A and B are shown apart, each in its own frame.
Chain A
């Protein structure tokens, strides 16, 4: 097992009378790409700022290598930040911006020049040393900001929606590049985003937050395939969420039918919620399935069709490459592994 680097213990934060963080417990490991994911206002930035040292928690602890640091000022922490709007110093050129931290350490000029050059090469900006940072494009400024932080060789890099201001195409390219850089420097990245696709494609660990609380911690696959509650299921990808009852281990009932499933460990007859991912549902002839309904709408989405099927109890969303004309009677087939049972919100 990797070494634990940062531990957040029962962290809370109040602004005036508003509680913004409600008891955050999180372990962050060495060399991990961890993403805080959640809707705007859920407390991601506040969590990051507490780790960086710009905010003090109202209660709880921040441990770094086992040592409590929540009172330590930012300039004494082995952590660097890439700010959302880059925050490059407008009075300094590219090289001077990157050398800012090294100059403070009174490092040798030739060593600094070497390190700056190496950083510029890594972020793909060789030869930009003397450029005016205010004249660079958004993507270039972003790279300078990353270089300026990484040149200090921090143990952890904090990134607050670093790609938020870039357009879609550059975003995609930067996602790949950031992941590459993280592997190359081999340090922990704590990444904040509200974009679930970004979180799933880049991270080792995703922390889903809502309303100042952690909803689920897991690998991208876990989070997607086994959401722990309705919030996670609906925030990550599209899903059909249905209230039902867990009859006993491996048997769940919803909409008047019983289905075999792979979930266990719930009390008998526990009210639960079931997630059915649209791409897991198969359209078959009505005789072959327990759930039957009528095709109400079909939309071509590029790779697949999105089909809305109206049944007695609800309308299901299905993603499939097969065509089905509107008005046709169809059945919906579910295998045991397509059914994900979750605790109802508020009962876990």
Chain B
């Protein structure tokens, strides 16, 4: 083993350059004033104070609300889907998993544009409704379109971990539950659900994190004034040019995510 150790070195350097240094830079920006030179840093908490303003707090609340709704929908739809896949014949399982993941192979932008085409006021869905004599419904640039986009994009991240934990479950445990007098419903809640908890927790973490930090989907499906944390950070860096404030928001988001992950991990280990 030992002689392979030095093979790790390039990766350690790689990780340092690409992950640790940017993180340090973000922290540095977040705690300093605008227009600093490297030699004359002046530290400040102003960037964080600024974030406490109502508008920004609202953005964060909105992001979390949307992330929560997306996660709940993904779980509610993804669990049964993963369950059905794990119960189908072995040959079919691979195919179904492929079907679930295929959309992920297509560029996200392309997929999102496709949704725009479907949902817009004179898009395909409204045209079909028109044929049935129903008035057009505004779907674009609403919570509906954004959530739909998020759910469709992140569904595989819920389905795959749940499917994995369901399919590696020992089938004799389910038979044991039946044998001991549990009907199908009781067997599900007392055994299957409990044992799939690691997959559920992983799925929730992935979908929630992805959906609160995304900025492309809300921008395209929610319109220019649709602000989530991701959009806020993006605009600070790209259009406003306040890198210090942008860095502070990124840091706050990172801390919130870490706290969230900590709690989810705790929940997971409690259930074991």
A-B pair count, CB < 8 Å, reads 61
Would you call B181 and A105 a contact (CB within 8 A)? yes
Task: Given the known inter-chain contacts A101-B181, A105-B181, A152-B181, please indicate yes or no for A87 contacting B176, CB distance below 8 A.
Answer: yes
Residue A54, interface by CB 8 Å: yes
Other-chain contact of B172, A79, A87, A100, A149 (Cβ < 8 Å) = A87
Residue B152, interface by CB 8 Å: no
User: Shortest CB–CB separation between residue B165 and chain A, in angstroms?
Assistant: 12
User: Shortest CB–CB separation between residue A82 and chain B, in angstroms?
Assistant: 9
Interface string of A146-188 (1 = CB under 8 A from B): 0011001000000000000000000000000000000000000
Residue A237, interface by CB 8 Å: no
- Please, how many angstroms separate the alpha-carbon atoms of A91 and B189 in the complex? 13
Within 8 A of A (CB), among B258-272: 271-272
Residue B87, interface by CB 8 Å: no
**Which residues of B sit under 8 angstroms from A74, Cβ to Cβ?**
175, 178-179
Closest to A132 in B: B272
**Which residues of B sit under 8 angstroms from A83, Cβ to Cβ?**
172, 175-176
Would you call B178 and A73 a contact (CB within 8 A)? yes
- Please, how many angstroms separate the alpha-carbon atoms of A13 and B181 in the complex? 25
**Which residues of A sit under 8 angstroms from B272, Cβ to Cβ?**
90-91
Interface string of B165-200 (1 = CB under 8 A from A): 000001011011111111100100011001101000
**Which residues of A sit under 8 angstroms from B177, Cβ to Cβ?**
89, 100
- Please, how many angstroms separate the alpha-carbon atoms of A145 and B271 in the complex? 22
- Please, how many angstroms separate the alpha-carbon atoms of A81 and B172 in the complex? 11
Task: Given the known inter-chain contacts A75-B179, A148-B180, please indicate yes or no for A89 contacting B172, CB distance below 8 A.
Answer: no
- Please, how many angstroms separate the alpha-carbon atoms of A73 and B187 in the complex? 13
**Which residues of A sit under 8 angstroms from B179, Cβ to Cβ?**
52, 74-75, 79-81, 149
Residue A104, interface by CB 8 Å: yes
Closest to A98 in B: B180
**Which residues of B sit under 8 angstroms from A73, Cβ to Cβ?**
178, 183
Would you call A80 and B172 a contact (CB within 8 A)? no
Closest to A160 in B: B172
Interface string of A75-114 (1 = CB under 8 A from B): 1000111011101111100000000110011000000000
Would you call A152 and B180 a contact (CB within 8 A)? yes
Closest to B175 in A: A54
**Which residues of A sit under 8 angstroms from B183, Cβ to Cβ?**
73, 75
Would you call B181 and A104 a contact (CB within 8 A)? yes
- Please, how many angstroms separate the alpha-carbon atoms of A87 and B190 in the complex? 14
Would you call A89 and B173 a contact (CB within 8 A)? yes
Would you call B191 and A75 a contact (CB within 8 A)? no
Within 8 A of B (CB), among A244-264: none
**Which residues of B sit under 8 angstroms from A87, Cβ to Cβ?**
170, 172-173, 175-176
- Please, how many angstroms separate the alpha-carbon atoms of A152 and B177 in the complex? 13
Would you call A75 and B173 a contact (CB within 8 A)? no
- Please, how many angstroms separate the alpha-carbon atoms of A52 and B176 in the complex? 11
User: Shortest CB–CB separation between residue B62 and chain A, in angstroms?
Assistant: 37
User: Shortest CB–CB separation between residue B47 and chain A, in angstroms?
Assistant: 45
**Which residues of B sit under 8 angstroms from A84, Cβ to Cβ?**
172
Closest to A148 in B: B180
Other-chain contact of A80, B180, B191, B194, B271 (Cβ < 8 Å) = B180
Q: 12 A–B contact pairs at CB < 8 A? A: A73-B178, A74-B179, A81-B175, A83-B176, A84-B172, A87-B170, A90-B195, A91-B197, A91-B272, A100-B177, A100-B182, A101-B181
Given contacts A91-B197, A101-B181, A105-B181, 6 further A-B contacts (CB under 8 A): A54-B178, A73-B178, A74-B179, A79-B179, A83-B176, A88-B176
